[in-house]
Structure 1
Amino acid sequence: MSKLMPCIALLLATTSPAYAKDVFTGTWKSDVNASVPSTKPSVVLLADGLYTCSTCVPVLKVAADGAFHPVVGSAYYDEMAVTVVDPAIVKRATRKGGKLVGETTATLSADGNTMTTAFNDLTALNGIPVTGTGVSTRVTSGPAGSHASSGSWRQTSEGQVSDSGLVFTLAQVGRVVTYSTPTGISYVATTGGPAVAVVGDPGWTTVSLKQSGLNTLHETDYFDGKIIGKYVMTVSADGKKMTMDANDIKYGRTSTLVAYKQ
């Protein structure tokens, strides 16, 4: 979280820790229906036995033969398998160190313009999975002769996500903020202080926080010293709703997330 903190806000946050605690402290749950996903489309091509995702990080080029093949450049997986089930269904699976860490099944609608993707994310180091579905709408079609899943797709909604992927806990006392999730991700950082280690996420190594007001925190995420994301979290005046403006620098996407205090 990044911040420019005015002197008055700093004074209030330092001298009134009880107020700061009341604003952010608690368990929050993201509302997928109230959130606004990125409008940047994903671009995939499945043709001539090869699956290519040009907007993925890293860019993916994997033989679509159902077997696992090496993938370089991801902190979360080192192998991927792509299986064409039929003209409307494509499955992907990822492994790291020989262990299954993710599965997705993409299913096209009858008219080929909507894709529903069911996912099972097993990357959490504590073993708790995150499951759910996402819905995307076609922007452009793939070239002639390619699989119907080819083309560019814009995510329109997340149909359902398990609580393990939606719930997070914050606690702020003075300038010290503690963050944790059911999947084992956590950090303890001081607003205006140096970047600190993140536990439990191999793709997110450090984080720094700043505070621009009693109700607003700014977070900057890093991977091996490189900025991968910036987030501005603002709590409503009644303390019940949090709006997060997310700038996913790694993937070049912006979105707005909404969470409610439980």
Structure 2
Amino acid sequence: MRHIGMSVALAAIILPATASAQSVFDGRWRVDLGSTELPKKPWVVTLNDRNFRCASCGTPWGIPADGGFHKVAGQNYFDEAAVKRIDPRTIEFHYRKGGRLVETDRISISADGKTFTSVDTDHATPNGELAVYRSTARRSADGAPGAHPLDGSWVTTSYDKGSDNTMTVTMRMEGDRFSFADGTGSHYTATLGGPPVKVEGDLAGRMIAAKRLSPNALQLDASIGGKADSRMIVTVAPDGKKMNVEATNVKQAVTTRFVAYKQ
């Protein structure tokens, strides 16, 4: 399940690294999902006739699996969740924050129970347009005997599709101020070496602090509520056409790598 993770990564990774008249970062970039190197840490869940629990989430959580919304504590991007059984191999997760539906994840499990496809829809983008992501996963450990087919451990194998508003970003530099905007309406402007700034439109109030590592590389540290959340290392190739991104979830100590190309 995405849990808004990919959109957050895209909204936090890209800022120009220099203050030249025309930075190599300026313009429109598109993420290449085929280049993604995903962490091997499994998603570990329990699902039976009564309850759902995510044991591997950064802050573990669980609710009754009765189709209704229930309060969830300790999560940045939702405070209520519901687990709905669509058919024996299809499950939907619905998330709300402040009473507003923010995300729906629909998981379809294969007949042999070894793989699943998840279609995740972000309902709370700043510009009001739906943002859709699709991922696949394979089973890494069996669930309990007699439990739901989702029960057990899963490793994400790919992000194989995303709506266009999730895959492209636009950047601009003005003096020592650097601006970012994505297709969902999320945006921010930061100064390299300056204080953290708010990502406008982020539901959790995410803050970004940018630091230059070299003429073509940045370190971007994200925090939520004053606590470190993620770290991004962004490096532009010498030809200015390719950007390598290394994104680390600080709480879970896992890293994802991918590439973006200038359009």
| Fold-level similarity (TM above 0.5) | yes
Q: CA-to-partner distance for each residue in 1:220-243, whole Å, 9 max, x for gaps? A: 101111110110111111111111
Alignment of 1:73-112 (within 5 A): 73-112=74-113
Q: CA-to-partner distance for each residue in 1:58-83, whole Å, 9 max, x for gaps? A: 32211111111111222322211101
- Counterpart position of 1:195: 196
- Counterpart position of 1:62: 63
Runs (4 or more) in structure 1 with deviation over 6 Å come to none
The answer to whether the 8 A contact 1:76-1:123 is kept is no
Counting matched residue pairs gives 249
Q: How far did residue 209 of structure 1 move?
A: 0.7
- Counterpart position of 2:224: 223
Q: Flag the 1:181–1:43 CA change in 2: closer, same or farther, 3 A.
A: same
The one of the two structures with greater contact order (alpha-carbon pairs below 8 A, sep at least 6) is: 1
Q: How far did residue 84 of structure 1 move?
A: 2.0
What one-letter code is carried by the residue in structure 1 that aligns with 2:31? S
State percent identity of aligned pairs.
Answer: 35
The answer to whether the 8 A contact 2:36-2:159 is kept is no
- Counterpart position of 2:149: 148
Q: CA-to-partner distance for each residue in 1:62-120, whole Å, 9 max, x for gaps? A: 11111111112223222111012333111111122332211111111121111101111
1:248 aligns with 2:225: no
- Counterpart position of 1:258: 259
User: Considering only aligned residues, what root-mean-square deviation do their CA atoms show, in Å?
Assistant: 1.9
The answer to whether the 8 A contact 2:235-2:243 is kept is yes
What one-letter code is carried by the residue in structure 1 that aligns with 2:106? T
1:41, 1:175 → 2: CA distance? Answer: 41
Structure 1: segments with no counterpart, 5+ residues = 3-9
What one-letter code is carried by the residue in structure 2 that aligns with 1:130? A
- Counterpart position of 1:27: 28
Q: CA-to-partner distance for each residue in 1:1-39, whole Å, 9 max, x for gaps? A: 89xxxxxxx9xx45xx12xx3311111111111111221
1:196, 1:93 → 2: CA distance? Answer: 30
- Counterpart position of 2:3: none
- Counterpart position of 1:129: 130
Q: How far did residue 186 of structure 1 move?
A: 1.4
The answer to whether the 8 A contact 1:70-1:78 is kept is yes
* TM-score when normalising by structure 2: 0.88
The answer to whether the 8 A contact 1:204-1:221 is kept is no
Q: How far did residue 180 of structure 1 move?
A: 1.3
2:96, 2:170 → 1: CA distance? Answer: 29
The answer to whether the 8 A contact 2:138-2:155 is kept is yes
